[in-house]
Structure 1
Amino acid sequence: MKLDEIDRRILRALQRDGRLQNVELAREVCLSPSPCWRRVRLLEEAGVIERYVAVLNAAKVGKGLTVFARVWLKGQDAATVDHFTNAIRDLPEVLECHLMAGDCDFLLRVVAADLDEYRHFQIHHLTRIEGVQSVKSEIPMQQIKLTPSLPV
């Protein structure tokens, strides 16, 4: 789907506030409500807008610690990688999982209440996944920027 400037304004507005009512959104992007609604529906149907979510404050829901875990597997064959990725999908503590090119095989973003909870997760879940050779944990000192918004 080719995005024009009106589509981009719609996307920027919805990324700022996904609860905007169509009338408010239309006013913000300088359209009448009916064409605005049609454009939003087309963006949804094309998969440009995947879903609407609430962004939570991690600390206020008891998950204030973020850890980046670098994971090395015993092998990079399809069966080992597939087993690992399927296991990771079932772990709610893992917010992001990326297959990497470079030093490690996977990079995970994990949340926990504190270091004890993360250590428990690492010992009892992450390192028990068949095929995991080692895990190195990186703990950020300060969050500088975290945004769910894409530049459009």
Structure 2
Amino acid sequence: MSSNWFCLVKLRRMEEEGIIEQYTIAVNELKLGKSIQAYIMIFLKSNQHTAFQKYIKENPDITEAHRISGEGCYMIKASVSDQVALNHLLDEILKFANYRVNLSIGKIK
């Protein structure tokens, strides 16, 4: 038996058991022209969670989103091309929530 076959069987078993839920790729946002990485803490103004979650899922600039406990309601990561695009995103978010923005100045890991 080849080691490739063994690995394939093991991967399939892990998928069936739910250990592996999905596969993904790593995208270099800078090479796509998205030079600003923003981490945005969301403070919903009302209980519009469903509408806000729909907005998050449909917005391609929002690359990651988490509903959180503690301070704030959500933490999102957005990748945008420039300050104009960031301002547009923040204006859209204001329809649902107040926010606090932190910008990445360099990726460590």
Structures share a fold, TM > 0.5? yes
Structure 1 equivalent of residue 17 of structure 2: 46
Structure 2 equivalent of residue 143 of structure 1: 107
User: Equivalents in 1 of 2:7, 2:42: separation in Å?
Assistant: 45
**Higher RCO (CA-CA < 8 Å; seq separation 6+):** 2
5+ residue gaps in structure 1?
Answer: 1-25, 146-152
Q: CA deviation at 1:118?
A: 0.9
1:65 to 36, 56, 66: 36
Alignment of 1:100 onto 2:68: yes
Q: CA deviation at 1:119?
A: 0.9
Structure 2 equivalent of residue 84 of structure 1: 52
The higher radius of gyration belongs to 1
Structure 2 equivalent of residue 113 of structure 1: 81
Q: CA deviation at 1:45?
A: 2.5
User: Equivalents in 2 of 1:54, 1:105: separation in Å?
Assistant: 27
Q: CA deviation at 1:122?
A: 1.6
- Deviation larger for 44-53 or 104-113: 44-53
> What whole-Å deviation, never above 9, does each CA across 1:59-103 have from its counterpart, x for those lacking one?
11111210011111123x4xx222211221111111111112122
Q: CA deviation at 1:137?
A: 1.1
Q: CA deviation at 1:44?
A: 2.2
Question: SS at 1:103's partner residue?
Answer: coil
User: Equivalents in 2 of 1:102, 1:52: separation in Å?
Assistant: 30
Structure 2 equivalent of residue 127 of structure 1: 94
- TM-score norm. by structure 2 comes to 0.84
Structure 1 equivalent of residue 6 of structure 2: 35
Aligned-residue Cα RMSD (Å) equals 2.0
Q: CA deviation at 1:108?
A: 0.6
> What whole-Å deviation, never above 9, does each CA across 1:42-62 have from its counterpart, x for those lacking one?
122233223333322111111
Q: Structure 1: which amino acid aligns with 2:104?
A: P
Q: Structure 2: which amino acid aligns with 1:67?
A: A
5+ residue gaps in structure 2?
Answer: none
User: Equivalents in 2 of 1:52, 1:101: separation in Å?
Assistant: 27
Pick the structure with more helix per residue: 1
